[in-house]
Chains A and B, each alone.
Chain A
Amino acid sequence: MHSIKRGIAATVAVAALALTGCSAGGGDDGPVGLDFWAWAPNVDKVVEIWNEQNPDIQVTVQKQDGGDPVITKLLTALKAGSGAPDLIQAEYQKIPTLVSSDALADISGDLDADVADEFADGLWSSVTLGSDAVYAVPQDSGPMMFYYREDIFEELGLEAPTTWDEYAEVAAAVHASDPSRYLGTFSANDAGWFTGLAQQAGASWWSIDGDAWGVDIDESPTQQVAEYWGGLVEEGVIDNKPMYTPEWNAGLNDGSQVGWLSAVWAPGVLSGNAADTAGLWRAAPMPQWDADAPATGAWGGSSTAVTTQTENQAAAAEFATWLNTDPEAVAAMADVMGIYPAATDAAAEALTTSPEFFSNQEDFYDVAAEAADTIAPFTYGPNVNVTFSAYNDEFAKAAEAKTSSAFLDAVAEMQQITVDDLENTGFTVE
């Protein structure tokens, strides 16, 4: 306080310069200090374990808003030349964007060769982008699963749908039993969710060939998914309101949202938003397009990356590796952060008892592990944010229009907007 007052009494510019002088000096001999931008709840508790064991490398978690904001902030800080952290929690779909902005350091030289073996191939390819470089260490994954209210299904004599045809039948039966009830909702706000559904159907929206990017959004897998959901919304058996709104939360509480196509992390959201429904839900594999070749998509999931502005790349890479592969760290992540760790074997050891919210279902993590094994491959491109906001805009209109053809138009629009943006920002598009 005192110094602040004095600083203001002095001329502003002088005070500013004096302060720069102070903060720039010192700290060279002490332990290495790393800043880590992350948004996952309780990640600081896991970092505490590291700090206790590694007095020479002290990591400070600086909690950020999740999703797009943290990425924008990082890119601004990198442009400005200062203020970026050493480490950042980056969702998989953000990695190509960050790499094309030169925001992430290639840490392949700092990692042991066997780190790659800890993770499923699909996850590892999303942090290498299919190259020899390594841009991040996978942290958690979000295999999609289907959640439903077991009590209401029993009351109506319904079984969990195993195919999308059955899902449509169950949706109709649920809605017929009570017009306020829906088996789910088509959310025009959650592009990540729709991407997961398209991924399950076999879509991969971007592809890279040398220096040229390909955009394959408006192709048969995504069209199939859009047409299917457009049909359900047109029939009126599926709600068309976005998820994560107060209205949707109320629906989870009062039982008018009877199911949720979500991912392995759903228990955390359900226990936060609808605590009173604990023990009433059940997790199942996703309904399938082809029951003989089960597949699922991923919704969410993130990695730990080292930024190009760090002065301690080796130390940062060491921490990122520890956080995501050390059995103690992985167990702590699963336990206090409630995420599904990406390191396959360590996760299997750590996740033995079902989440408290699903205490009625002993095999919760068996279902999850099965889903995690069947995640279909998917390549993200450098302008995911543009595509996702195109999804929000176009599907908001389609969900309002409530026709299957409007859903297909929205997919075509997404393709067009994505291609135009890539061309405008100077990428070569096939």
Chain B
Amino acid sequence: MTTTASTHIRASATSSATTLRPSPIATGILIIGALYCLIPVVWVVAASTKSAGELFSSFTLLPSTHVFDNLAQLSAYRDGLFWRWMLNSAIYAGVGAIASTWVSALAGYVLAKFAFPGKAAVFSILLTGVLVPGVILAIPQYLLLAQLGLTNSYWAVLLPQIISPYAIYLARIYAAAAVPTDVVEAARTEGAKEFAIFNRIALPMMLPGLVTILLFQFVAVWNNFMLPYIMLGDDTLFPVTVGLSGLLNQGASAPSMYTLVIAGALVSVLPLVLLFLLLQRFWRVDLAAGAVKA
């Protein structure tokens, strides 16, 4: 996300001076990159149209006609449990992303605009947090939440994902760039309370950056596997990632339900695609505007 911002600046700075000519090598590398990302998607789309027999026998990328059969079977699996998983994912990712964005914005704003003892230490610890993969924390988080008796509940998945060091780090950069200190001080002189300054003035100014964080967090929570996998025992609480994995691991004596899993995987990426299409324009236009002001 930060690279997008910086390339934007560089692009707009240089484009006025020289006309950019497409380089065949760079274009070639980008096309290979695009294929690398898109072929698996094409595979999922093609495979989701195949029946169980065709899946392993017909040509890989050749679509078939069974997409609606597969979806119907998927919906029928244990009385529509799949849709419950989708709803759970939406709750985890939706509530989690909004809460996490708000918390990150607040933390980032405070780190960027306030001077307080221990600030450098807090920020260093956060930076360390960025380097620690979430997977490593899943088990300690499980043991902590178990002491509160919160495992196997919505909270178990929501709470740990509200704090994201990386999102706070991003928010701090956006806050430093997008919220002029003069404006904050002017509001203070007018007698505005600190929370009001944050909610009414800083937050709207940071909005484009926050959309980025929101998208980023939504995708991270939606795709998260390890944390819900460890936290949850009740399969009606599963998000779609954990639920689909269960369909593939039914023990050696039962067949893996490949067609259902592939159809489910296709359905499960649609909300992400939709979200990106809807929020993309927000995020592109104003990010550059905010960045230039800095």
B40 at the interface (CB under 8 A from A): no
Which among B26-34, B143-151, B194-202, B276-284 touches the partner chain? B143-151
Q: Is the CB of B249 within 8 A of A69?
A: yes
Q: Among A67, A76, A246, which residue has its beta carbon within 8 angstroms of that of B251? A: A67
The residues of B that contact A67 with a CB separation of less than 8 Å are 249, 251-252
A7 to B152, CA, bound (A): 17
Q: Is the CB of A80 within 8 A of B143?
A: yes
CB distance from A180 to the nearest CB of B (A): 14
B250 at the interface (CB under 8 A from A): yes
Q: Is the CB of A83 within 8 A of B154?
A: no
CB distance from A65 to the nearest CB of B (A): 4
The residues of A that contact B246 with a CB separation of less than 8 Å are 39, 63-65
Interface string of A6-50 (1 = CB under 8 A from B): 011000100111011001100000000001010111001000000
Interface residues on B, range: 35 or more
The residues of B that contact A15 with a CB separation of less than 8 Å are 155
Q: Is the CB of B162 within 8 A of A12?
A: yes
Q: Is the CB of B146 within 8 A of A82?
A: yes
A1 at the interface (CB under 8 A from B): yes
The residues of A that contact B229 with a CB separation of less than 8 Å are 69
Q: Is the CB of A300 within 8 A of B233?
A: no
Cβ-closest chain A residue relative to B143? A80
Known contacts A20-B148, A23-B153, A65-B245; is A268 also within 8 Å of B253 by CB?
yes
Known contacts A4-B154, A8-B99; is A250 also within 8 Å of B249 by CB?
no
CB distance from B238 to the nearest CB of A (A): 9
The residues of B that contact A156 with a CB separation of less than 8 Å are none
Q: Is the CB of B253 within 8 A of A269?
A: yes
Complex A-B: 15 CB contacts under 8 Å: A15-B155, A16-B150, A23-B153, A24-B149, A35-B233, A35-B234, A39-B250, A64-B235, A65-B249, A69-B249, A190-B252, A250-B56, A252-B56, A268-B255, A272-B254
A76 to B233, CA, bound (A): 12
A69 to B108, CA, bound (A): 38
Q: Is the CB of B53 within 8 A of A275?
A: yes
CB distance from A314 to the nearest CB of B (A): 22
Interface residues of chain B, those whose CB is within 8 Å of chain A, are 52-53, 55-57, 78, 91, 95, 99, 139, 142-143, 146-155, 158-159, 162, 229-230, 233-235, 245-246, 249-258
CB distance from A122 to the nearest CB of B (A): 18
A276 at the interface (CB under 8 A from B): yes
Q: Is the CB of A77 within 8 A of B253?
A: no
The residues of A that contact B254 with a CB separation of less than 8 Å are 39-41, 66, 265, 268-269, 272, 338
Known pairs A66-B250, A77-B146, A80-B142 / 20 extra A-B pairs, C-beta < 8 Å: A4-B91, A5-B95, A19-B150, A20-B149, A39-B254, A40-B251, A60-B234, A63-B235, A66-B254, A67-B251, A77-B151, A80-B143, A80-B146, A81-B146, A244-B252, A250-B56, A253-B57, A263-B253, A269-B254, A275-B52
A84 to B253, CA, bound (A): 25
A268 to B250, CA, bound (A): 12
Task: Tally chain A residues at the interface, Cβ within 8 Å.
Answer: 65
A142 at the interface (CB under 8 A from B): yes
Q: Is the CB of A300 within 8 A of B155?
A: no
The residues of B that contact A62 with a CB separation of less than 8 Å are 233-235
A79 to B147, CA, bound (A): 11
Q: Among B139, B230, B233, B250, which residue has its beta carbon within 8 angstroms of that of A37? A: B233
Cβ-closest chain B residue relative to A249? B56
Q: Is the CB of B142 within 8 A of A76?
A: yes
A192 to B253, CA, bound (A): 11
A289 to B143, CA, bound (A): 50
Interface string of A70-111 (1 = CB under 8 A from B): 000100110111111100000100000000000000000000
A299 at the interface (CB under 8 A from B): yes
A3 to B246, CA, bound (A): 29
CB distance from B217 to the nearest CB of A (A): 14
Known contacts A44-B78, A81-B146; is A299 also within 8 Å of B249 by CB?
no
